């Protein structure tokens, strides 16, 4: 069986595949079918936004109904969930007291399904390690399918930014975010095992990181590259293997750059010129998006303008103010940074609560590392929220649907590695 080629003593895919399905068969019919439905996530995400949204939302709603029926609310004592709930409530307050209450309330209200999905994974669907490993294999298959789709697009319809299979410039988000927990595990295995499993893991990582470059999505590539490198030094690394991995991946990216000069320009000189904290000129739209959010936050510093409100208010701001803030506003759909967006749309209070939520999610995942260091899934779990919530990067909208579907899928899998909350509530 092909699983033996990536199995190690610490992460035996062959054994966990068999045990995982045996455990699923022992569940009651409802939990059994819901767990199988959960496994379909990486494949449903390959279709389009609406099917993926229906999948995640249905799991969130069913989980909530299940908790009401079973009167099971112990999991809500976790700080990450309390802060997410507080941010949601305060966001709704900002919405109803803002200039566009109906629109902002709708945007803020539906956001809460993402923390609910995280809870559903941690508390219900992914509470067993062997079942989580089965999902990891679903991620692997989904990632490989996406890679082959994008290679086909590169051959048939080459362009700077790839769009298959969605028709949007977001396939890199699938590779970088949906499969980030898997990529971290593969990199950890690649530099810790001088055996067949380490080689195969490294080759899969080498292949997928090359495809990440082809997508033309710079931020998503950096999330993946930096996250993979961090994961590789956090779990039993061997210096020779780590050095080899770095050389091979740099070589892979270099080959792509030489064969595609347009990508070389996009990822090097053009990328550096667009970094907001390094270039605040009027011509830098990336900084302009941040600037508009900062200006809006300064005008409504306590409670903000309401979720997604900057989409409508940015164009009405006087970009000559404040005079000490350089550059020119660029009014897209959002400020393109989670922290600036929270400041502008939920004020200092919302930003503070949001930071608590981000930090508590990272800490929760780090507890998984402390509790079960021998498992590479648990040992590298905290890398996922660190990468996805790292403050100095370009983000999608915090209240968006498509981008959040990618982000919170990975966060849910990472948080599910920590099951110690059960002991804390005994």
Q: Name the band, by pLDDT with cuts 50, 70 and 90, for residue 156.
A: very high
At residue 17, the pLDDT reads 95
**265, 55 Cβ separation under 8 angstroms:** no
Query: Could you read off the pLDDT of 273-313 as tens digits, one per residue?
Result: 888 988 999 989 999 999 999 999 999 999 999 999 999 99
Q: Is the pLDDT of residue 319 over 90?
A: no
**In this structure, are residues 35 and 22 in contact, taking their beta carbons and an 8 Å threshold?**
no
Residue 255 has pLDDT above 90, yes or no: no
Whole-number pLDDT of residue 423:
78
Query: Residue 107: what pLDDT?
Result: 96
332-357: average pLDDT: 97
CB half-sphere exposure, 138, CA atoms < 13 A: 23
Decide if 60 contacts 116 (C-beta within 8 A).
yes
Per-residue pLDDT of 237-247, as tens digits, reads: 999 998 988 88
Does position 426 have pLDDT exceeding 70, yes or no? no
Burial class of residue 58 (count of CB atoms within 10 Å of its CB; 0-12, 13-18, 19+) = middle
Provide mean pLDDT across the span 328-349: 96
CA distance readout (Å), 76 to 9, 55, 296, 351: 35, 23, 33, 21
Q: Identify the pLDDT of residue 1.
A: 59
Of the listed ranges 96-105, 125-134, 187-196, 368-377, the one predicted with least confidence: 187-196
Least confident of 8-22, 116-130, 249-263: 249-263
Residue 83 scores a pLDDT above 90: yes
At residue 416, the pLDDT reads 98
Q: Which of 35-39, 401-405, 410-414 has the lowest mean pLDDT?
A: 401-405
**CB-neighbour burial class of residue 18 (10 A; exposed 0-12, middle 13-18, buried 19+):** middle
Residue 3: per-residue pLDDT: 81
Predicted local distance difference test score (pLDDT) of residue 263: 85
What is the pLDDT at residue 273? 85
Q: What percent of the chain has pLDDT above 70?
A: 99
**Whole-number mean pLDDT of the chain?**
94
The pLDDT of residue 252 is: 77
pLDDT for 262? 84
Evaluate whether 113 touches 57 at the Cβ level (below 8 Å): yes
Residue 58 contacts residue 165 (beta carbons within 8 Å): no
Structure tokens that stand for 379 in this block: 């040992």
């Amino acid at each position: 069986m092909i699983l033996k080629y990536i199995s190690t003593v610490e992460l035996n895919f062959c054994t966990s595949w068999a045990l995982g399905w045996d455990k699923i068969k022992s569940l009651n019919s409802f939990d059994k079918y819901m767990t199988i439905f959960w496994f379909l996530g990486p494949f449903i995400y390959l279709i389009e936004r609406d099917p993926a949204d229906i999948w995640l939302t249905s799991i969130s709603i069913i989980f909530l109904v299940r908790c009401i029926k079973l009167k099971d609310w112990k999991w809500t004592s976790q700080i990450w969930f309390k802060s997410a709930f507080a941010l949601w409530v305060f966001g709704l307050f900002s919405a109803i007291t803002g200039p566009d209450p109906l629109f902002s309330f709708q945007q803020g209200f539906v956001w809460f399904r993402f923390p609910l999905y995280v809870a559903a994974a941690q508390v219900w669907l992914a509470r067993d390690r062997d079942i989580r490993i089965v999902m990891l294999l679903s991620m692997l298959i989904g990632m490989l399918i996406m890679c082959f789709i994008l290679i086909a697009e590169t051959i048939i319809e080459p362009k700077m930014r790839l769009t298959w299979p969605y028709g949007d410039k977001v396939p890199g988000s699938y590779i970088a975010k949906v499969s980030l927990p898997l990529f971290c595990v593969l990199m950890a295995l690649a530099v810790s095992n001088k055996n067949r499993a380490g080689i195969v893991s490294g080759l899969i990582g080498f292949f997928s990181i090359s495809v990440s470059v082809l997508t033309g999505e710079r931020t998503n590539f950096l999330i993946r590259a930096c996250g993979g490198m961090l994961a590789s030094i956090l779990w039993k690394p061997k210096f020779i293997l780590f050095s080899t991995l770095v050389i091979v991946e740099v070589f892979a990216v270099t080959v792509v750059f030489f064969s595609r000069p347009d990508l070389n320009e996009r990822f090097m000189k053009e990328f550096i010129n667009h970094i907001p904290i390094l270039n605040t000129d009027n011509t830098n739209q990336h900084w302009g998006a941040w600037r508009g959010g900062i200006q809006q936050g300064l005008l409504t510093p306590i409670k903000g303008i309401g979720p997604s409100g900057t989409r409508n208010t940015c164009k009405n701001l006087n970009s000559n103010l404040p005079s000490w803030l350089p550059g020119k506003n660029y009014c897209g759909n959002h400020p393109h940074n989670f922290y600036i967006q929270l400041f502008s749309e939920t004020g200092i209070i919302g930003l503070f609560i949001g930071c608590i939520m981000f930090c508590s999610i990272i800490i929760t995942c780090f507890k998984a590392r402390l509790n079960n260091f021998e498992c590479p899934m648990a040992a590298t779990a905290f890398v996922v929220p660190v990468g996805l919530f790292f403050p100095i990067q370009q983000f999608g909208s915090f209240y968006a649907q498509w981008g959040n579907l990618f982000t919170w899928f990975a966060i849910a899998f990472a948080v599910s590695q920590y099951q110690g909350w059960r002991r804390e509530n005994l």
